[in-house]
Structure 1
Amino acid sequence: MTEKALGATDGALSTSGERLQGRRIVITGAASGIGRTTAQLFAREGASLALLDRDECGLAETARETGGHAFPVDVTNEEAVSAIIDKAGAALGGIDGVVNAAGIMCSSRVPETPAATWRRVLEVNLTGPYLVIASCLRWMEKESEATIVNIASAAGLLPNAPGLTAYAASKGGVVNLTRALAAELAPKIRVNSVCPGMVDTPMADGFRGNVGNYALKRLADPVEIARAILFLTSAESSYVTGAALAADGGRSFH
């Protein structure tokens, strides 16, 4: 008898519906890509969701699909983030989880990358998660088993592609922000990062053929990354903090 391996999409919706029962989780970048897929998976696992993104239309669609609360916001705006997180905490009756999935990518070599572009990439990818977490802590510190998962990148572990200097620097910062927060917030709050390789989302456009150095020779389905985020958010990872989980198809072999 031959066993069938679970592939990228096989069983994508096969969930227990209990792994996040009663959890109240903020997800940024929820209008599309990894953020939306994570919201869909978390809703099926019983979580109540506060969904953040600049894209109001996409955000509304994710909220409709998941029953989550939609909060349009630019995660780089400190005052706006603080106000939105207070609204999110009130709507959910508390916050005991955060997933920072909002991110952008710049593809240009250093001489062609203006300082303004460099700053914008770091603001969205690194400062944004910091601001969201800082605002959520006043809610999360009331909880006994809260979690934070930041979406970094395999490029933050092994930056080996030309033209991605700003992106790699920002995601390397996310990895070390995660480690620093894990040390600072322990033992009450666990903080981990997921480091995807290329994922089948619009961000991969123009790079889809660049998987020759991936052991699995393909892009990830967004649900494969969402499953890793689910693991680090659920009680199944109760002894994991400060980790950088490479979900990158063997790109970096961490």
Structure 2
Amino acid sequence: MSGALAARRILITGAAKGIGLASVARFIAEGARVVALDRDKAALSELAGRFDRASLHVVTADVVDPTAVAAAVAAGVDALGGLDGVVNAAGIDLMAEIEAMTLADWNRIIAVNLTGPMLVMQAAFPHLRAADGGTIVNVSSGAGLSPLKHRTAYCASKAGLQMASKALAIEAAEFGIRVNTICPGAVETELFRSSIDGAADPQAGYEAVRARYALRRIASPDEIAAAILWLTSSESSYVTGTAIAVDGGRTFH
């Protein structure tokens, strides 16, 4: 490893699984100290056992709860002595026809995928300003660039996160804070598997998804974490306000 994040203090949401978990491992390997935020206490406890306490601090919170988010960010800042970056990786999916989707379904997707990242960014922002050059990377989706059938709420939430990130990038630039968005395609996570395994023919469903991609395969979480790392490191020091597709070519293919 290159030590690309040496001495950096990073908060990662959705840290117990999938892309968030892969980011925690990669960031710590690159020298960062990490606050791992997730609502899954058991998974966080397991995660805490994998790393040295000097490198990882875990906090339990649901990103849709403003009070819990504010307390979690404050606890993380206290543990690390400040904050240099945020990665918003927490997210959920919904596949539903418009007539079957309830208002509660819609509200939950928007709350977790769009309002949650906003609450985290809002709570973290003064600490990033104090760090004199912080970074924010929001995990959106290729579905926010190119829509998917029966995912009206999900696509809306992810496209909204991209535009919110671009708007904040303008505001944050005054303080040397960079804000960018990663747009993954299908990734081998529990979230992806839950939608595939719930299909009438899981194998056919998997192949149908794979066929959308120019590279003809599904990404590993670590491949997405690598892109998040780049946007968090000084290697991307002149990049802000972008939405980068890390999707094996789905959005152009």
Contact 1:39–1:66 (CA<8 Å) still a contact in 2?
A: no
- Runs of 4+ in structure 1 off by over 4 angstroms are none
Question: CA–CA distance in 1 between the matches of 2:76 and 2:48?
Answer: 13
Gaps of 5+ in 1: 1-14
Q: Does 1:51 align with 2:36?
A: yes
In 2, Cα distance between the equivalents of 1:234 and 1:177? 21
- How big is the shift at 1:138? 1.6
**Structure 2 partner of 1:180:** 167
Partner of 2:6: 21
Q: Is the 8 A contact 1:28 1:51 kept in 2?
A: yes
Counterpart check, 1:238 vs 2:234: no
Question: 1:40: Cα distance to partner?
Answer: 0.3
Please list, as runs of the form range in 1=range in 2, the aligned pairs for 1:76-115 lying within 5 A after superposition.
Answer: 76-115=64-103
The amino acid that maps onto 1:202 is E
CA distance in 2, matches of 1:233, 1:62: 22
- Asked if residue 221 in structure 1 is aligned to residue 211 in structure 2, the reply is no
Residue by residue over 1:160-188, the C-alpha shift from the partner in whole angstroms, topping out at 9 and shown as x without a partner, is x2111111000001110110110111041
Cα shift at 1:80:
1.1
1:25 counterpart SS class: strand
Q: Secondary structure at the match of 1:228?
A: helix
Paired with 2:73 and 2:122, the residues of 1 have a C-alpha distance of: 10
Letter in 2 for 1:208: Y
Q: Distance in 2 between matches of 1:131 and 1:64?
A: 28
In the TM superposition, 1:112-191 aligns within 5 A as 112-159=100-147, 161-187=148-174, 188-191=176-179
Which one-letter code corresponds to 1:180 in the other structure?
A
State the partner residue of 2:252: 253
Query: Displacement of 1:64 after TM fit?
Result: 2.3
Aligned counterparts of 1:156 and 1:130: Cα–Cα separation in 2: 17
What value does the CA root-mean-square deviation take over the aligned residues?
A: 1.1
In the alignment, which of 206, 209, 213 is matched to residue 208 of structure 1? 206
- TM value normalised by structure 1: 0.91
Q: Using the alignment, how far apart are the partners of 2:51 and 2:15 within structure 1?
A: 11
TM superposition shift of 1:208: 2.9
The answer to whether the 8 Å contact 1:148/1:191 transfers is yes
Give the percent of matched residue pairs that are identical in Structure 1 and Structure 2. 48
Q: Which has the higher helix share?
A: 2
Give the CA deviation at 1:253: 2.7
State the shift of 1:95 in Å. Answer: 0.4
Deviation at 1:202, TM superposition (A): 1.3
Say whether residues 1:72 and 2:60 are aligned partners.
yes
Aligned pair in 2 of structure 1 residues 139, 55: CA closer, same or farther (>3 Å)? same
- Deviation of 1:66 after TM superposition, in Å, equals 3.2
8 Å Cα contact 1:40-1:65 kept in structure 2:
no
Normalised TM-score (structure 2): 0.92
